[in-house]
Chain A
């Protein structure tokens, strides 16, 4: 197993201003903003939403890398989203599922027993999947995914517990979204930059 924060620090070193990330709640939402200064980030999506929100974003920006920073508990809420992910099969999305096998201090998730999210994803039709257990594997597979094209799905087996990185960002919810949106709008490939018609055409 690896430490989530070590992985995130390494991932942060690979991010640039052309990349986007979407993170699930809890540890991902606390640790990722503490280390990542590059790229644009939508934080703290609630249970079951992160992967699909990132999928939608990847369709809006097909020439940019979108990273979905998921977690085992969140993805287990809606594993049918993996079927949709496989169907759409975006070439610019990398899903990183940080699997600590627990719901925080509330107890173990099913991945601590028999459930295997990589096999579930593969069974749903996602072709390029792997389970990462060492930093060497993370370095090789995730950096390789960033440098290449195609949908990638990685389950990263991480140690339990919280890293000492402070609390959540104070900028959450709508304020966070507005900051994210302002950055999206600044990109020339943002789809929504057409003029809004304010005169009722009827």
Chain B
């Protein structure tokens, strides 16, 4: 699970970018972050019941100029694939997405090994197939800059951008 230091860096980065709206379907590795956001009055947090409509919701808000982020994991990206394809290829709508990189090499979170392997094999090819730009963020020292850059570039590209969180950013023991 994400440690307190990373949670604070993450929240600072969102505030510095003016990102007040956070949409998520809670998942285990980033739960400490979404829990902290939920009690912070700076944020409007929305817990969705499905990733596909969460992405559509973010896209509508983002097109309306709201600065928002969709927080999910690899399973959520896969679930939201059709929505991502539309918001990326069909409509070109800027969207910042952070995703816990479940299944990355070294993931010892305890989910079944077959699921780990599936996520590992599919995550990056999936994003490549959708032509969605992404970066892997595995160092705390780079987290704030990556959020800032991805938020800037998604609007410049008019595209979703995904930050895949792993390593010491996602797991407190690195």
Q: What residues of A have a CB within 8 angstroms of the CB of B18 in the complex?
A: 194
Q: With an 8 A cutoff between CB atoms, is B169 at the interface?
A: no
Segment at the A interface, from B4-12, B33-41, B89-97: B89-97
B47 within 8 A of A: yes
Query: Which residues of B sit under 8 angstroms from A78, Cβ to Cβ?
Result: 50, 52-53
Please state if B90 and A181 are interface contacts (CB–CB under 8 Å): no
Tell me how many residues of B have a C-beta within 8 Å of chain A: 35
Q: Do the beta carbons of B92 and A174 come within 8 Å of each other?
A: yes
State the Cβ distance, A29 to closest chain B Cβ, in Å: 13
Give complex CA distance A45, B85 in Å: 12
Q: Assuming the A-B contacts A49-B56, A52-B57, A197-B152, are A184 and B64 also in contact, with contact meaning beta carbons closer than 8 angstroms in the complex?
A: yes
Bound-state Cα–Cα, A53 to B86, Å? 12
Q: How far is the CA of A184 from the CA of B66 in the complex (A)?
A: 12
A83 to chain B, nearest CB (A): 4
Name A's interface SS. helix
Q: A174-B92, A177-B92, A196-B155 are in contact. Are A60 and B64 (CB under 8 A)?
A: yes
Docked Cα-Cα span, A42 to B91, in Å, equals: 10
Q: Are B60 and A87 touching (Cβ within 8 A)? A: no
With contacts A180-B63, A202-B145 taken as known, whether A56 is within 8 angstroms of B92 at the C-beta atoms is no
Among the interface residues B57, B62, B67, B152, which one has the most CB atoms of the partner chain A within 10 A? B57
Tell yes or no: A193 within 8 A of B by CB: yes
The answer to whether A81 touches B61 (Cβ under 8 A) is no
Within 8 A of B (CB), among A8-43: 22, 42
Given that A174-B92, A177-B93 are contacting pairs, would A191 and B49 also be in contact in the complex, using a CB cutoff of 8 Å? no
The CA-CA distance from A76 to B155 in the complex, in Å, is 32
Count, chain A residues at interface, CB 8 A: 40
Looking at B64, B66, B86, B148, which has the most chain A CB atoms within 10 Å of its CB?
Answer: B64
Q: Does A67 contact B (CB under 8 A)?
A: no
Smallest Cβ-Cβ distance to B46: which chain A residue: A88
Min distance, Cβ A42 to any Cβ of chain B, angstroms: 8
B145 to chain A, nearest CB (A): 6
Closest 7 CB pairs of A and B: A60-B64, A56-B60, A192-B65, A191-B65, A56-B61, A52-B53, A80-B49
Instruction: Give the interface of B toward A (CB within 8 A).
Output: 18, 21, 44, 46-50, 52-54, 56-67, 82-83, 86, 90-93, 145, 148, 152, 155-156
Question: In the complex, given contacts A52-B54, A84-B47, what are 4 additional A-B residue pairs having Cβ atoms less than 8 angstroms apart?
Answer: A56-B64, A78-B53, A81-B56, A191-B67
